[in-house]
Amino acid sequence: MTFGRVAVVGLGLLGGSVGLAIADNLPDCTTTGYDADPATRLRAAERGLVNRVCDTAAEAVAGADLVIFCVPVGAMGDAAAQIADALPERAIVSDVGSSKASVAEALRAALPGATVIPAHPVAGTENSGPDAGFAHLFRHRWCILTPPADADHAATARLSAFWEALGARVEIMDAAHHDLVLAVTSHIPHLIAYTIVGTASDLEEVTRGEVIKYSAGGFRDFTRIAASDPVMWRDVFLSNREAVLEMLGRFTEDLTALQRAIRRGDGEALFDLFTRTRDIRRSIVEQGQDDARPDFGRSDH
């Protein structure tokens, strides 16, 4: 049922964490890895992110029964094309991309006939690169699989078992629905964080030094999100354009209504919203997706 040989293509935060999590949780599984950046390959070998770092993607996937693409979503098609001739016939192909419909299309176009089961572990930090990964990244996090309608059930079940072995909880979802859900819970929050940090750094009346000094009032939490990998996020917004624009439209409507409430001095409307939003926080903490402790439970890592 489990995989004997996993190839990880892309050895940044996600790819490195996959390799380390396999080493921790699936001792019988050997891993190979490849990254387009030679410096990343060198560092990945030093840290032992996978058992063997290869000089080409084709070399990495030879003999693999699972290939996981951990590159920015805009680079999936090119990365897949590099291994098209080397991919073992019975290997399952998957990924960790944050948008799913466009990635599924890119992988299937580059690898016609391959068994492609796209996946998205909803986990990450603001750090990136081969030094950022850690074995527990996926523990207690959700991993969403978006198998196509005609997918092989046994393949989906094997991939589910794999992610569960790494500590994740697995959910199966339609790719289009995934893209809508993640637009709300991840993409729009990132877009907003990038925007406000940009706005703050362009002001003339308030210096950048002042913004930094007084960031503890709320702003600093946005800067953490806005420090995420620029290439990864550029690709997410381009590849999930439709759902992002749809959700952004809803957000802008709601913000305009709040703006009007402030202008009119409508304290009741403000109070009502501010009270309602507390409940969601409570549910998130109760369901273990965040922690009420001052360190958010991050000391568990």
- Among residues 14 and 60, whose Cβ is nearest to a copy of itself? 14
Shortest Å, Cβ 29 to a copy of itself:
25
Q: Find all residues with CB under 8 Å of 70, minimum gap 6, and list them.
A: 8, 9, 10, 11, 12, 14, 15, 18, 95, 96
Q: Is 190 in the site for a copy of itself (CB under 8 A)?
A: yes
Q: What is the size of the binding site for a copy of itself (CB under 8 A)?
A: 102
Piece of the chain touching a copy of itself by CB under 8 A; list 55-63, 85-93, 109-117, 239-247: 239-247
Enumerate residues 206-235 that contact a copy of itself by CB under 8 A: 206, 208, 210-228, 230-231, 233-235
Instruction: Tell me which residues in 267-296 interact with a copy of itself (CB under 8 A).
Output: 267, 270-271, 273-278, 280-284, 287, 289-290, 294-296
Member of 36, 62, 151, 192 binding a copy of itself (CB under 8 A) = 192
Among 3, 34, 162, 194, binds a copy of itself (CB under 8 A): 194
Q: Give the whole-angstrom CA distance, residue 13 versus residue 125.
A: 8
Question: What is residue 186's DSSP assignment?
Answer: I
> Restricting to residues 117-176, which ones interact with a copy of itself according to CB under 8 A?
122-126, 141-142, 144, 171
Residue 36 or 192 having the CB closest to a copy of itself: 192
* CA atoms of 277 and 293, how far apart (whole Å): 19
Cβ contact 5:29 at 8 Å: yes
Q: At what angle do helices 241-264 and 175-182 cross, to 10 degrees?
A: 30
Q: How far is the CB of 270 from a copy of itself (least distance, A)?
A: 4
**Pick from 175, 132, 151: nearest CA to 40:** 132
State the binding string over 85-124 for a copy of itself (x if CB under 8 A, else -): -------------x-----------------------xxx
Other beta carbons within 10 angstroms of residue 245's beta carbon come to 11
What are the helix and strand counts (H, E) for the chain? 13, 9
- Give 95's strand partners: 69
Q: Helix (H, G, I), strand (E, B), or coil: what is residue 277?
A: helix
112 vs 287 by CB, closer to a copy of itself: 287
